[in-house]
Structure 1
Amino acid sequence: MTHATITTRLDADNPWPGLESYCEDAQGFFYGRVRECEKLLKRVLDAPVTVLFGRSGLGKTSLLHAGLFPLLRNENYLPIYVRFDLKPGAASLSCQLHDAVRHALQAEAPDATLPRDDESLWEYLHRADLELWSTRNYLLTPVLVLDQFEELFTLGEGVPDQVEAFKYDLADLAENRIPADLATRIKDDPAEARRFNLRSHNCKLLISLREDFLAHLEDWCRFSPALGRSRMRLLPLGIDEAFEAVYKPAEHLMTPELAHQVVDIIAGAGLHTGAGVLPHDVDVRVNRRGATDVEPTLLSLVCRELNEERKRLGKAAFDEQLVEEHGRSTIPNYYTSCVSGMRPEVAEFIENQLITTTGFRDFEAVEDAVPSHLTREELDQLIDSRLVRLAEYHGTQRIELIHDVLTGTVRSHRDQRNAERSRRLAEEEKEKEKAALAEAAERARERERAAQAQLAVEERAKIEAQRQTQALLKRTRQLRAVLAAAVVVAVVAASLWVWAIRQRNEAQEHFRAATAERLYGESLLMLAGRSPLGSNDFDAMQMLLAAYAIPSTEAGRNYDLLTVLNEERNLLKVIDLPFVVRSVAFSPDGSRIVSGSADSVVQVWDAVSGQPVGTPMRHGDRVTSVAFSPDGSRIVSGSADNSVRVWDAVTGQSAGEPMRHDAAVMSVAFSPAGSRIVSGGADKTVRVWDTASGKPVGAPMRHSDTVASVAFSPDGSHIVSGGYDKTVRVWDAVSGRPVGAPMTHGDRVMSVAFGPDGAHIASGSADKTVQMWDAVSGRAVGQPMRHDAAVMSVAFSPDGARIASASYDNAIQLWDVAAGGSEPSVLLGHESPVWTLAFSPDSRELVSAGGDDGSIRLWDATSWQPMRGHSDAAWAGYFDGGRRIGSGSGGDDKTVRWWDAETGQPIGEPLRVDGPDVGYLFPVDQNRLLSLSHDTANTVAQLWDARSGKPIGEALSLPPGPNREVVADDTTNPRIAVKLEPSVLQVYKSDTMRPVGALIRPTEEVATFNFSHDGEIVATGSVQGTVELWDSDTGERIGRPMKGDSWVASIVFSNDGSLMAVGYANYRLRLWDTGTFEPKGEDMPQVTLPAVVALSPDNRTIASGGDDGNIQLWDVDGQKQLGAPLTGHSASVTSLHFSSDGKKLLSSSGDGTLRVWPVLEPDPNLLCAKLTHNLTPERESETARGIDYDSPCTQLTASEYAGQR
């Protein structure tokens, strides 16, 4: 194990470490990363495992030591830093981790019992008596910080066995999974379990690595999915943060102006001025990818070198001369120091391959550079010196300079080298001229000698010709023998040709398979937002389809296809375009969408196919806002050309003359009757126009800054507007007078909307909030609903149930109005700020457009969103023939709720059944509820009327007993089974609460039990892993016991009772044939405890829900995973039920939410349906590296973009 060693000690006179990392003691000098520190702290506190990743040179180690560790200590967490020693002969990685924990505890918790040498770290951290008290008498929680984890994939190649062994040990820690050897000991001796708190999670893991090694980490996610759940990407510093990093630790050494000057040097010699978060007028096109950023390592280097020069000159503080004269020479000097001592070919490689001829940054693939130009050791040295970095691009690692600021220096060195080479060449040419004259004289003398020799040659040639004539006669006689030998040679050659063809075919097959594997991996990484290539889901889906179709052994991989389909379940269509779309709107019948874009075009699209409808309608500048008239016959648009225009929605012809503002138009809307148009603009006015004549109606209404958004109330009597003056204002639509006082935000108001009842207004602001207001009083309704960045657009659903908001944080959030906007649902897919959105007329779909990603997206806004309402753990099932969902909860909630199974919307008000004996409550059918009480005093079961909330019949009250458990059957004649003693069960009729049949007496202590769907059979599962079946009428055993190898965690029957799925505590899932009492197929490995399982009605699919909140679908016949786990719940899954047609899966969770998931067929056409076109042949070739394949999307045509025009 190696520790972070930092040789430079920072103090007031030396506040920057240069290329070294900040240590924890240097926290007082570490600035510019406040937001990242807080974000990382939150992730570490919220998740058991966190992964921090970022490019080389961004200061990940400094962020850990000087940023995160002090914050963790304030929260009574103990950071334990580890960087593994991967040299051959070093201790195993698990031992190194074990030693790191021991040393940290000796220093920070001296009274703690230390881990024994023969005790695994998992066992130590799960000791039942484990308590780690600090010297200040606070209980500590260890945080294991594994830094520079990429070294396991580089240096670890030298010790592959150690890395492989550690992978499983780390997975046990990350997943809180009982190690295999301990599970075996517990199985042999159940008392062993009492030494441990098996469910505790007494530590946290934080892994830090370079982002170009994320793909390697993905391979580990198969063994430890937790490695993929909570991740944070570290980005370069922004201009403001870089200024803090320079100025804050050295306020006594420099002025703010000088600090800005230093930052400008790194940011590009002052060429970039930076920009605010939002455009100040409509002419600003936002492009976050072009935003200036600063490499922290280079910044620290320049600051340290300038400071050293300051001290050398004896200056008390920085001055302009120092910064001007020496600041810009720091980078050239640094470049020289990096390449000095290395072979000249290294500098030539950098100067020829890593910048273009005109001096721009370029790149070279690693496979082309090593070993042709560099050795691996030389590349590592350049990376360690922070001169170059590796970046992943379309599956290829490429080498590039760490920052554009280096290109001038590199180009200057190249120019000097080329000038020196030209001088040498000129001198060499002069020497060559002298040599050429001497050579010409020598050639003349040589010609004379050659002429004399020619006569002798000709004479010898005559003699040789006579000899060859005699030899030819002899060879003719030998010809027959030679021909016979040639036949043998031809046969051998043919065999070799066949072998060569076979080898070529095998090589091609390997290449096709490797290409498909790469495309599968890149598509999943991109969709997960973990790819260095970005998160473009259009490219990701096309990569997946290419991998699926490439003729290879990897073709048709259903796991990957289903993973993508599930990930994109909310996406209905993506319309990818080469320009920014600023506004979108649905037609009144929902069949069409209109968009306005930065290329000055208004375009209508088919809402189903995503194809353009009609001809484009053009403005003289970018289009900022569009809307359909209430009857759908016309379209109004506003533009930066200062005009409002009306168009025929069918022909695309302009209707009437443009209506003009004095500056760019920002927003337009029709009145409910369609007779008027309201517009707001950068001229700070709100104007009303007569639709038919195009003439203004009344005087303009004024803000004190740009008007960003306008809307009519549903009855047309009022207008709401929002502006850059941070206000929301309501106006009388007839008189133009203001109504009430302005409503204010903390920053510019970007969007406003009336609710469908006209009683409420929603506004979105650059202050990152959405606020709902009372339209009459102007008072805020509820708390602000928050995004992570400016809110650009808001919309009420036409049914009034939700508010949708689009933000600069690339996300769309759906807020439940009735719930006051708590816990939004999130739609992710845009890879840049989302500018605009709109609901469909039926409230079920949503259309949005992103800024620089140039896409219009259609979303299913209803089907797969969580159902919220319960405040405690919930249980749920399908009722009323699958038309309704019923859910119940216990704890402090104690309510039953009904939901529309199609829309997920609540039906009626929740029914609360309160009382001292109501601990858990859930529906038995649409008419009856069952409550259970489980405490130390007694266990009470009671039926209730689902409408009145009154009790039905007598309650069942049981005497006190340890580990009392109750399971209810959900048939029309419901029964309950109660565990009276560890190995005794009794079945009761729940309508009379009277016992049915004899006691059920399993041979081993019961861990769990369940009814068959018809209620006729009870299955019991023991702590030793045995499952037994019992007749619920008589209590008699059915058949023979079914033996497992770990205690039983869950049991479920198929609908017809022929199969039974059993989840075991050793993270296995097994199918049993209830007719033969034999296992069916292979065990299905789980990544967490399978707490709940369900079988589809057709017995083709099994679902398992874990205590990590994830759900995994399996194919019953092949026991194969149907895609990656379904993620969405934040606590244990409490129930799973398939719909009657098997196409949906209902889940509930300890987080109080219900979710419905699609159960999809592995059909690539489902993915094709989300696209509007195929790739062009050129893009297909680039994607598949020249491999020919037929796209599965046969109904789509090839084009560069959607609706190519």
Structure 2
Amino acid sequence: MKSDSRKPQSLPPAIDESVLMLTHAQPHSSPAESTVSPIPDQTPYKGLRPYTEKDADIFFGRTRDIQRIVNNLLAWRLTVLYGESGVGKSSVLQAGVIHALREEAQENLEDYGLPKLAVVLFPSQQGERFWQQDPLQSLMQQIAADMQASGFPMQMPEPGTSLLEMLQAVTIQLGGENLDGRFFIILDQFEEYFQYHPTPEPEGGLIAEIAQVLNSPDLRVNFLISLREDAYAKLNLLRRYLPNILDICLHIEHLDRDAAREAIVLPIEQYNQKVDADQRVTITPDLVDAILQGIPRVGRGGEGRAGLEKLEAVLGNQILAPYLQLVMTRLWDEMVQEHSYGLSLDRLTRIADPTIENEDEKITIAIDRIVQEHVAQTLQHLSEQEQDIAARSFQYLVTPSGTKYAYSTADLANLVGCEAGDLDRLFNQLTKEQRIIRRIGCLPDRPDVERYEIFHDVLATAILQWRMQYVDKQRKAQEKRNGRNKSKSGKSKKKESKNNFESNEEKNNC
């Protein structure tokens, strides 16, 4: 993670009272739990699903990022965290930052009888509330619900209660008579706020209420706003209420090679602490190196357009975590199915065509095939109508040569010939855990129209292959229907001819 040179750089937090020293980089020691064999619900990888606080013990590779975010959240009243779509912001916040803060609160509870601090994530990880609702009321209700779940007698806010008044009561409950309670509010996926509220609400809305809290120097409440990089410029819209919103900004990047290695190896070490010695899983160093070499890297395209260009050397060290997770989950699942306890290079290369002799080529093809099968399986689970819309949309999002283009759903719906609402619903499915499509922001002259493109260049071949197979399947089905219709037409004509013949015979007999 780094501060972008275009943005104000973060100042170092005060070390004495602000820093939580994380031990997250090391596998947690826990009592051994006897199991029969590795089973799917113990998989130490998440595939393309985001990590939650419950996954903290298998979340690795982000220790420095977590430490830096925690330090800034503790030290500053308002921090902005931004990064590309799919970089893992929500996972870092849930499995890293929130977990670290709540562990600290638990230690305080044991030492002092009071937690001294609490943190709330909005929207909640269960997705119960969304930015399209009244975000202020939803946030206040979530704060009350979280406090109640922690054992505090917090009532749902009465109509007319301000966020400031509510947080004053919260910090008193957290800190007791010393009035030293601290509360942290993390606003995740904040780009969706702009989607449903393109202009800041009037007085009494969420942003104005946050400003009122931040302007209360004695209230120990800090905020962190997390959003996609393409929505970063929209924060300027909030400067009327939050003039210093861009003062403390943190940029989160994809995994570097060392962090990616931790994300591969350390979850297995953590898993091995929970099983008997004869059930521990091994992973060979050559497999780790092969995955690090073969996983798609970060490429740089322009404004939503990028061919399958050679990746730039400066970005070649950044590894896409979603695909690393996809590969590791596939290898683990196959190991479980075989009742084995070993992850080796052979397990990866045998996914490729066995006739290929070059080892590096086998690795590349095996990883590509895992990605292709992910695309095919994801699209296979769509309804017939959704598959039809997807196939027609991909015709424009990916050209036959593999170049990807970005479109708004409104423009694409006109080209495809479907309802924009149907396309929105489809793309919402494909942008989340599936990582097929991603949002890339708006054009300067159309700030209210969001655009989409395929998630990564590596998906272009897989998408083209799926579309070709889908179109071929539809063509054969149509030919079969035409054949049946032709057969029915022939039978109908035969029957008509026979009837005419019998009618003529009757006339002749008469």
Give your verdict on TM over 0.5. yes
Aligned counterpart, 1:39: 68
Aligned counterpart, 2:257: 239
Gaps of 5+ in 2: 1-38, 106-116, 270-280, 300-310, 352-365, 484-510
Alpha-carbon distance change, 311 to 73 in structure 1, aligned in 2, over 3 angstroms: same
Q: Does 1:259 align with 2:288?
A: yes
C-alpha displacement at 1:69, in angstroms?
A: 1.9
Alpha-carbon distance change, 140 to 298 in structure 1, aligned in 2, over 3 angstroms: farther
C-alpha displacement at 1:49, in angstroms?
A: 1.0
C-alpha displacement at 1:116, in angstroms?
A: 6.2
Aligned counterpart, 1:391: 440
What is the TM-score with the length of structure 2 in the denominator? 0.63
Q: Secondary structure at the match of 2:225?
A: strand
Amino acid aligned to 2:67: E
Say if 2:44 and 2:268, in contact at 8 Å, map to a contact too.
yes
Aligned counterpart, 1:219: 237
Aligned counterpart, 1:339: 379
Amino acid aligned to 1:59: G
Q: 2:397 aligns with which of 321, 342, 354?
A: 354
Alpha-carbon distance change, 165 to 43 in structure 1, aligned in 2, over 3 angstroms: same
Q: Does 1:400 align with 2:453?
A: yes
Q: Secondary structure at the match of 1:132?
A: helix
Structure in which a larger fraction of residues adopt strand: 1
Alpha-carbon distance change, 232 to 371 in structure 1, aligned in 2, over 3 angstroms: farther
The 2-side partners of 1:213 and 1:34 are apart by 26
Q: Give the paired residue count.
A: 380
Aligned counterpart, 1:24: 53
Amino acid aligned to 1:248: L
Q: 1:152 aligns with which of 193, 197, 201?
A: 193
Alpha-carbon distance change, 130 to 376 in structure 1, aligned in 2, over 3 angstroms: same
The 2-side partners of 1:113 and 1:365 are apart by 44
Q: Does 1:298 align with 2:323?
A: yes
C-alpha displacement at 1:86, in angstroms?
A: 5.5
Amino acid aligned to 1:376: D
The 1-side partners of 2:132 and 2:429 are apart by 24
C-alpha displacement at 1:120, in angstroms?
A: 2.6
The 2-side partners of 1:377 and 1:163 are apart by 33
Q: Does 1:70 align with 2:88?
A: no
Say if 1:80 and 1:143, in contact at 8 Å, map to a contact too.
yes
Alpha-carbon distance change, 288 to 49 in structure 1, aligned in 2, over 3 angstroms: farther
Aligned counterpart, 2:114: none
Q: Secondary structure at the match of 1:25?
A: helix
Q: 2:334 aligns with which of 304, 309, 321?
A: 309
C-alpha displacement at 1:406, in angstroms?
A: 1.4
Aligned counterpart, 2:84: 55
Alpha-carbon distance change, 307 to 127 in structure 1, aligned in 2, over 3 angstroms: closer
The 1-side partners of 2:231 and 2:462 are apart by 29
Q: Secondary structure at the match of 1:305?
A: helix
Q: Deviations over 1:762-805 (max 9, x none)?
A: xxxxxxxxxxxxxxxxxxxxxxxxxxxxxxxxxxxxxxxxxxxx
Q: Deviations over 1:727-749 (max 9, x none)?
A: xxxxxxxxxxxxxxxxxxxxxxx
The 2-side partners of 1:107 and 1:139 are apart by 21
The 1-side partners of 2:391 and 2:480 are apart by 22
Structure in which a larger fraction of residues adopt helix: 2
Q: 2:184 aligns with which of 134, 140, 143?
A: 143
Q: 2:135 aligns with which of 78, 93, 99?
A: 93
Q: Secondary structure at the match of 1:218?
A: helix
Aligned counterpart, 1:551: none
C-alpha displacement at 1:143, in angstroms?
A: 0.5
Say if 2:375 and 2:436, in contact at 8 Å, map to a contact too.
yes
Amino acid aligned to 1:296: A
Q: 1:376 aligns with which of 409, 421, 424?
A: 424
Q: Does 1:364 align with 2:398?
A: no
Q: 1:203 aligns with which of 188, 208, 221?
A: 221
Q: 2:208 aligns with which of 157, 164, 168?
A: 168
Q: Secondary structure at the match of 2:205?
A: helix
Amino acid aligned to 1:399: Y
The 2-side partners of 1:394 and 1:361 are apart by 17
Q: Does 1:324 align with 2:349?
A: yes
C-alpha displacement at 1:83, in angstroms?
A: 0.5
Of 259-268 and 21-30, deviating more is 259-268
Alpha-carbon distance change, 120 to 372 in structure 1, aligned in 2, over 3 angstroms: same
Q: Does 1:121 align with 2:163?
A: yes
Q: Secondary structure at the match of 1:399?
A: strand
The 2-side partners of 1:163 and 1:250 are apart by 51
Q: Deviations over 1:914-933 (max 9, x none)?
A: xxxxxxxxxxxxxxxxxxxx
C-alpha displacement at 1:75, in angstroms?
A: 5.5
C-alpha displacement at 1:15, in angstroms?
A: 0.5
The 1-side partners of 2:144 and 2:400 are apart by 56
The 2-side partners of 1:150 and 1:262 are apart by 33
C-alpha displacement at 1:53, in angstroms?
A: 2.1
The 1-side partners of 2:372 and 2:289 are apart by 20
Amino acid aligned to 1:306: L
Gaps of 5+ in 1: 1-9, 177-197, 273-285, 431-1205
For the aligned residue pairs, the C-alpha RMSD in angstroms reads 4.2
Alpha-carbon distance change, 302 to 74 in structure 1, aligned in 2, over 3 angstroms: same
Alpha-carbon distance change, 236 to 129 in structure 1, aligned in 2, over 3 angstroms: closer
Amino acid aligned to 1:310: M
Alpha-carbon distance change, 311 to 11 in structure 1, aligned in 2, over 3 angstroms: closer
The 1-side partners of 2:401 and 2:131 are apart by 46
The 1-side partners of 2:171 and 2:408 are apart by 54
C-alpha displacement at 1:378, in angstroms?
A: 1.6
The 1-side partners of 2:471 and 2:143 are apart by 56
Q: Secondary structure at the match of 1:404?
A: coil
The 2-side partners of 1:59 and 1:132 are apart by 30
What is the TM-score with the length of structure 1 in the denominator? 0.29
C-alpha displacement at 1:156, in angstroms?
A: 5.7
Say if 1:102 and 1:115, in contact at 8 Å, map to a contact too.
yes
